[in-house]
């Protein structure tokens, strides 16, 4: 499972879902795998505002990955300025066509979409329940006494 | 057919979940053509939208719009595995009544041919409430269920008929295999021939609640939602619902 996926997951138990402690889930005994995904610069740019940056930083730290900067990259850091445009200080929304994706964008793509947990567990910080990840698929079915 | 109070989680475990887990690969091979209403819903979402496909089956809706992000889930591990191949989307195993997602977060959700597998009215409404609960303000969910009114179909169900039914899924044995042309139109819920080791046909019975006209809209409202749009498409009722927020 991608690290991006974890950004949209919390504990399946009703009592935990509304608590801050349940998000993000914490990987345990995680075995990582890099799965190549075709780079879509616009996808990365569009998804970035929806990523809880603090949670992603914690996650990377938990997994022993290179540390992410303290704050999420600004949209302007994701593309090189388009030479044909030349207007400075304009957001990329105003630019007809984006420039080339920067290394920052490529790194984000790698962390969010290509870095995956193949085997391991995801632990709820609120109730301590462990969800298994097997062959890259996380299983959130609860035993009946926890539903 | 058991009474409504005998149905519930254990009943669905036997008559829905276990069946899909066993027929997963055959089922998936027959599920390739998206329904038009679902395609339209997904392809008109703004780029960068994030959402859920709850009860994704083999994930046939995941490749339709690569500029949105869909986190798909299914109760069947075998189906979730098949669905997980559609990049950049994701698939997990989860129960629609215990979704592992933050509340009030997503732009959209789809639940296609899923809620009708829940065997009591309170569980169906709970499922609709769970879908509405993950949507942000103004978020929209497309819910799609089998209709009771499908007089034109081979099954012949119609208004006034029994709504809680068992529907067979036949996996043909090798001796009975006859080459058959796949229909070009939207697939029907009919098994196509597929050889099975050991020979002989195997029939699996799946539970369905067939929705009568207006029932899906009722469930949406009782579950705390408002119906934005609804209609009928080829033997199915559908509704686009949004959560009602206190202002």
**Each residue's pLDDT tens digit, A93-107:** 444 567 899 999 999
Determine which of A37-51, A109-123, B198-212 has the lowest per-residue pLDDT on average. Answer: B198-212
E strand map for chain B: 50-54, 69-74, 90-93, 106-112, 135-146, 164-171, 202-209, 225-233, 236-243
We report the CATH number of the domain holding residue B46 as 3.40.50.150
Mean pLDDT of the A33-49 span: 96
Quote the minimal CA–CA distance from A59 to chain B in Å: 17
> What structural domains and CATH numbers belong to chain A?
3-146 (2.20.25.10)
User: Rounded to whole angstroms, how far apart are CA atoms B31 and B36?
Assistant: 14
Is the per-residue pLDDT at B185 higher than 90?
A: no
Contact A76, A41 (CB under 8 A): no
> Which residues in chain B have Cβ-Cβ distances shorter than 8 Å to A8?
50, 71, 101-102, 105-106
Residue A88 pLDDT grade (very low, low, confident, very high; cuts 50, 70, 90) = low
Burial category of B10 from C-beta neighbours within 10 Å (exposed 0-12, middle 13-18, buried 19 and up): exposed
Does B179 reside within a domain?
Answer: yes
Out of B47, B93, B102, the one facing A140 most closely (by C-beta) is B93
> Which residues in chain B have Cβ-Cβ distances shorter than 8 Å to A147?
97-98
Whether B120 and B180 map to the same domain: the answer is: no
Determine which of A115-129, B45-59, B180-194 has the lowest per-residue pLDDT on average. Answer: B180-194
Encoded tokens for B81: 């595995």
The pLDDT, as a whole number, for residue B108 is 98
The pLDDT, as a whole number, for residue B150 is 87
Helices (runs of H) and strands (runs of E) counted in chain A? 5, 4
Contact B50, B107 (CB under 8 A): yes
Does B158 reside within a domain?
Answer: no
Whether B10 and B94 map to the same domain: the answer is: yes
The residue count for chain B: 247
Is the per-residue pLDDT at A128 higher than 60?
A: yes
ipTM: 0.90
Work out how many domains chain B is built from and give that number.
Answer: 2
The pLDDT, as a whole number, for residue B33 is 78
Using alpha carbons, select from B124, B130, B138 the residue that is nearest to residue B101.
B130
The pLDDT, as a whole number, for residue A84 is 60
Residue A140 pLDDT grade (very low, low, confident, very high; cuts 50, 70, 90) = very high
């Amino acid at each position: 499972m991608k690290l991006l996926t974890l950004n949209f997951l919390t504990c399946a138990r009703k009592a935990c879902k509304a608590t801050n402690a349940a998000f993000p889930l914490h990987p345990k005994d995680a075995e990582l795998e890099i799965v190549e995904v075709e780079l879509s610069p616009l996808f990365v740019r569009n998804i970035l505002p929806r990523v809880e940056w603090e949670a992603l930083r914690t996650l990377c730290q938990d997994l022993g990955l290179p540390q992410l900067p303290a704050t999420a990259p600004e949209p302007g850091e994701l593309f090189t300025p388009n030479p044909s445009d030349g207007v400075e200080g304009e957001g990329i929304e105003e630019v007809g066509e984006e420039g080339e994706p920067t290394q920052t964008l490529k790194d984000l793509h790698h962390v969010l979409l290509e870095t995956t947990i193949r085997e391991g567990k995801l632990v709820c910080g609120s109730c301590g329940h462990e969800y298994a990840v097997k062959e890259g698929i996380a299983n959130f079915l609860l035993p009946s006494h926890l539903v | 057919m058991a009474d409504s109070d005998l149905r519930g989680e254990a009943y669905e475990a036997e008559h829905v979940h276990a069946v899909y887990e066993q027929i997963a690969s055959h089922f998936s091979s027959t599920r390739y053509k998206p329904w038009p209403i679902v395609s339209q819903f997904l392809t008109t979402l703004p780029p960068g939208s994030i959402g859920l496909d709850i009860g994704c089956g083999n994930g046939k809706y995941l490749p339709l719009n690569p500029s949105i992000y869909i986190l798909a889930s299914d109760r069947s591990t075998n189906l979730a595995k098949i669905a997980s191949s559609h990049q950049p989307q994701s698939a997990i195993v989860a129960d629609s009544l215990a979704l592992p997602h933050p509340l009030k977060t997503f732009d959209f959700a789809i639940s296609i041919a899923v809620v009708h597998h829940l065997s009591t009215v309170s569980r169906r409404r709970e499922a609709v409430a769970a879908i509405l609960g993950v949507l942000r303000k103004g978020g929209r969910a497309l819910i799609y269920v089998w209709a009771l009114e499908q007089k034109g179909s081979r099954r012949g169900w119609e208004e006034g008929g029994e709504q809680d039914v068992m529907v067979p899924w036949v996996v043909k044995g090798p001796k009975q295999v006859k080459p058959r042309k796949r229909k070009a139109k939207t697939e029907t819920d009919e098994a196509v021939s597929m050889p099975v080791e050991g020979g002989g046909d195997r029939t699996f019975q799946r539970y369905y609640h067939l929705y009568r006209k207006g029932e899906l809209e009722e469930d949406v409202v009782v579950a705390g939602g408002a119906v934005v749009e609804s209609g009928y498409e080829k033997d199915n009722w559908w509704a686009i619902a949004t959560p009602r927020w206190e202002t």
